[in-house]
Amino acid sequence: MKLSLLLTTALTLAGSLGAADWTQFRGPNGDGLSSDTGVPVRLDPSSITWSISLPGRGFSSPLILGDKVFVTAGSGARQDRLHVLCFRVTDGALLWERQFWATGRTMTHEKIGAATPTPASDGKAIYAIFSSNDCVAVDLEGRLLWFRGLGRDYPNASNSLGMSSSLVVVDGVVVAMVENDSESFTAGLDARTGVNRWKLDRPKKANWTSPVVFKSPGQPNRVLLQSSQGVTAVDPTTGKIAWDLSDGASTVPSLVVSQGKLVIPANGITVVEPTAGDAKPKSVWRSAQLRPGTASPVVVGGRLITLNDGGILTCADAQDGKRLWQLRLKGSFSATPVVAGGHLYCVSEDGRVQVVDPSKAEGVVVSELTLEQTVIGTPSIASNSLFVRSDSRLVRLGGAALR
Amino acid sequence: MARVHSVLAASVLLVATAIDSVAALPRKLASSVERLKAVGPEGQGNVVAQAAWNDVAKAKASQIPDLIVAMDGANDYALNWIRAAIEAAVQRETVAGSKLSVKSLETVLRDTRHHPRARRLAFELMQRVDASKAQAILPDFLQDPGSEMRREAVAQLMATAARQTNGTKATAVTTYRQALGFSREADQIEDIAKRLQDLGDKVDLAKTFGWVSKWQLIGPFDNTGEAGFAKVYPPEERLDLGAGLTGKSGPVKWFPYETRSEYGLVDFNQAISSLKGAVGYATAEFWSDSARTAQVRLGCKNGWKVWVNGALIFGRDEYHRSAEIDQYRMPVSLKAGKNILLVKCAQNEQTQDWAKEWEFQLRITDEQGTPIVSTR
């Protein structure tokens, strides 16, 4: 009896998410916040626990599940070799690697590449999509569960500048935004088999934003799709539209959900609050002064932070959008800031990690570490560490102690 | 567009070679491989393939070369399933201390009847087991039908030429010229041409790429609101080069145009006028000695459609994102004798500096990218 209970417990744990896992773009809740409190604040060269070379370029965030880090990469002259790699958290040792040949178009702007979208995980598998719209599912041991060539299945679904929308997985469905100027759609793929559960026609306009899961107690989950036309909430199990906001929105930075409100990069920043049922959300406030660049907004301690491409960090009161302070960081930015222990971790394109305390009357850079690598992708946080994926390496900062 | 899709899909389904690709495998393993090869578009066969994948991933090191051979005839989805299973098997066997047979891998690699990607995988496994051996045999693949092998062999030859620039320049030029002759990749060709130019040797890029350069053009027709992309104008219904037609702002007629661009650009801004919201057409005769398969390779950042002998082969309504040589590779069947190419090139109404181009470049090649030029 005891043995059976132990086995059941072990099996349950094997297929579940740990509290501190980083399972998608901007973390488990898609808001850039980590519950880890031991990430180093005072960074210096000794903060680098390990740094390993990767077999290809990449701009996606690492996923961290338990003692494993998962990374995607693209290699080859045409970025047509797609990699999913698994490393050990403690020492960066390679545990397994799977490679795939792209079946869709791989052309991108030179600043990005095939491995730009961030994978997602439900704790059972890693779901990875690439700019070619090839989508794969592998379990945590590297067993291939399914492969989809969405760019092959739908041959005009591509963007000659590259695709970057990350995946989310919710209610057994992997949501892939394949939104572009031509054959534009978002698909709900069955997480177990990869086949279409639904496929929704979307605005014919290039879109680099990522879907966001909206969870509300007692309400069915919704996936929020942001586009040039606005924000659309869909039922992840059916693809049925629940509500629509049609005031337009950015096609680069993605909205974030904070305290039940949607902080949308639209006409500056627009904040709305969904109401009970599927009624249209009500407007809360709007500010044209807050203008995120490529990086998505983040909310920490009641403060809304935006970062533009030139490194201007702007802090506003999340309640009303009133601007509190601005701080110029060093460098240009594409990566979204992530948060641990109340501190912002901002990584510039030239690999400068700047730790900012946003809680004071003015923003303060607490410490800075230069990795001297090109970083476009958003870092990840787990195991009391910051994981930075540069275009050639994976670096772990902090968290030297074993979990 | 359904027909276009099927043409594209057909292009990825390499016809099985004369070899029975799974014959050398034990029956159970062969059956599992066949189930992987049964996967298709939109996730068809994924459920069955999941279980089969686990069987194939249990293969022994000694079975890997035969598994690679079993990739013959697989479509692009299945190639990825099989590759991933082989990688898992190799990883497990390597940890267990089992060695792959370099000789067997080389045998697969050298047999050009096998799928180019299967042969490439054999080479990559060779690199893991015996990197120096793999490097040593690379020059044998300068004319390989597989683009990845050929590219790497050319890159090695380019590295040799680069070293030779420290000595006699003429030797380096000769080696770069050899590399240019073997290369089929646009970026590699441009790189070699630049290095040759640095050595005082000018490359005729237009000839090297083999652009279709002589066209007849007509336009502008209306593309206000990008509606002209879908609208069927008279050239799409009937090609009559003597006909006068009504264009966007008055009568239009066909006129000859020959591009002098080393990148084969057919520039409507230059040939017609710098316009917005306009459609232009270009047509050319392409003469082939024989009936054959080929590829139409197009670069274009405007909306476009291409017809060969009256049949639409593909079209795309993306504007001003980006363009590159061989951006779109479309399989076609050429007739012996005269073939008619028709290109529709649509400019939208964007006003940004980077949205000025209204042009395309087109060439006909074989599957490897070797230019095929019109015989007349």
Mean pLDDT by 10 residues, chain B (376 residues): 40 45 92 98 98 98 97 98 98 96 98 97 97 98 97 98 94 98 98 98 97 98 98 98 96 98 98 97 98 98 98 98 97 98 98 97 97 96
For residue A46, the tally of other CB atoms under 10 A from its CB is 12
Instruction: Answer yes or no: do B49 and A159 touch at CB < 8 A.
Output: no
Give the distance from residue B251's alpha carbon to the nearest chain A alpha carbon, in angstroms: 31
Q: Which residues of B touch A97 (CB under 8 A)?
A: 87
Give the distance from residue A68's alpha carbon to the nearest chain B alpha carbon, in angstroms: 17
CA gap B244, B59 in Å, rounded: 68
Give the distance from residue B235's alpha carbon to the nearest chain A alpha carbon, in angstroms: 23
Contact between A284 and A298 under an 8 Å Cβ cutoff? The reply is: no
Residue A403 has pLDDT above 70, yes or no: no
Tokens 């040589």 belong to B325
| pLDDT tens sequence across B36-56 | 999 999 999 999 999 999 999
The type of residue at B366 is D
Instruction: Answer yes or no: do A146 and B46 touch at CB < 8 A.
Output: yes
Q: What is the pLDDT of residue B16?
A: 40
Instruction: Give the DSSP letter string of A342-380.
Output: TEEEEE-TT-EEEEEE-SSSS-EEEEEEE--S---SPPE
- CATH class, domain A30-397, is mainly beta
Read off the pLDDT band of A19 (50, 70, 90). Answer: low
Asked whether the bond before B139 is cis by omega within 30 degrees of 0, the reply is no
Read off the pLDDT band of A402 (50, 70, 90). Answer: very low
Any chain B CB within 8 A of the CB of A195?
yes
Q: Which residues of B touch A138 (CB under 8 A)?
A: 84
Q: What is the pLDDT of residue B3?
A: 39
Give the distance from residue A322's alpha carbon to the nearest chain B alpha carbon, in angstroms: 34
Contact between A220 and A234 under an 8 Å Cβ cutoff? The reply is: no
Read off the pLDDT band of A10 (50, 70, 90). Answer: very low
Any chain B CB within 8 A of the CB of A145?
yes
Residue A3 has pLDDT above 50, yes or no: no
| pLDDT tens sequence across B248-293 | 999 999 999 999 999 999 999 999 999 999 999 999 999 999 999 9
Instruction: Answer yes or no: do B43 and A100 touch at CB < 8 A.
Output: no
Rg (CA), chain A: 20
Percent of chain A scoring above 90 in pLDDT:
93
Angle at A134 between CA A130 and CA A140, to 5 degrees: 80
Q: Provide the chain A residues 45-64 that lie in CB contact (below 8 A) with chain B.
A: none
CA gap B162, B154 in Å, rounded: 12
Mean pLDDT computed over A159-167: 98
Q: Which residues of A327-341 are buried (b: 16+ CB within 10 A; e: fewer)?
A: bebebebbbbbbbbb
* Domain spans of chain B, in order of start: 15-141, 147-203, 211-365
Q: What is the pLDDT of residue B10?
A: 39
Count of CB pairs separated by less than 8 Å, A with B: 111
Read off the pLDDT band of A400 (50, 70, 90). Answer: low
Mean pLDDT (chain A, rounded): 94
CA gap B258, A317 in Å, rounded: 62
Read off the pLDDT band of A5 (50, 70, 90). Answer: very low
Q: What is the pLDDT of residue B22?
A: 86
Give the distance from residue A324's alpha carbon to the nearest chain B alpha carbon, in angstroms: 35
Residue A223 has pLDDT above 80, yes or no: yes
Instruction: Answer yes or no: do A181 and B318 touch at CB < 8 A.
Output: yes
Q: Which residues of A touch B91 (CB under 8 A)?
A: 96, 142
Residue of A nearest to B185 (CA): A77
Q: Which residues of A touch B12 (CB under 8 A)?
A: 103, 152
Percent of chain A scoring above 70 in pLDDT:
94
Any chain B CB within 8 A of the CB of A99?
yes
Mean pLDDT computed over A130-148: 98
β-bridge partners, B298: B328, B362
Closest Cβ–Cβ partner in B8, B117, B323 for A101: B117
Read off the pLDDT band of A20 (50, 70, 90). Answer: confident
* Domain spans of chain A, in order of start: 30-397
Q: Is B107 helix (H, G, I), strand (E, B) or coil?
A: helix
Instruction: Answer yes or no: do B41 and A149 touch at CB < 8 A.
Output: yes
Helices (H), A91-225: 150-153
Give the distance from residue A309's alpha carbon to the nearest chain B alpha carbon, in angstroms: 20
Residue A337 has pLDDT above 50, yes or no: yes
Helices (H), A184-247: none
Q: Name the pTM for this structure.
A: 0.94
CA gap A228, A211 in Å, rounded: 14
Residue A350 has pLDDT above 90, yes or no: yes
Mean pLDDT computed over A12-41: 84
Helices (H), chain B: 2-12, 27-37, 46-56, 64-69, 76-95, 102-110, 116-129, 131-137, 147-164, 169-182, 186-198, 205-209, 234-237, 268-271
CA A87 to chain centre: 19
Instruction: Answer yes or no: do B49 and A156 touch at CB < 8 A.
Output: no
Read off the pLDDT band of A276 (50, 70, 90). Answer: confident
Rg (CA), chain B: 24
N- to C-terminal Cα separation, chain A: 30
In CATH, the number for domain B211-365 is 2.60.120.260
Contact between B355 and B298 under an 8 Å Cβ cutoff? The reply is: no
Give CB contacts under 8 A, 24+ apart, made by B137-145.
Answer: B137/B106, B140/B110, B142/B182, B143/B182, B144/B112, B144/B116, B145/B112, B145/B116, B145/B367, B145/B368
Mean pLDDT computed over A365-388: 97
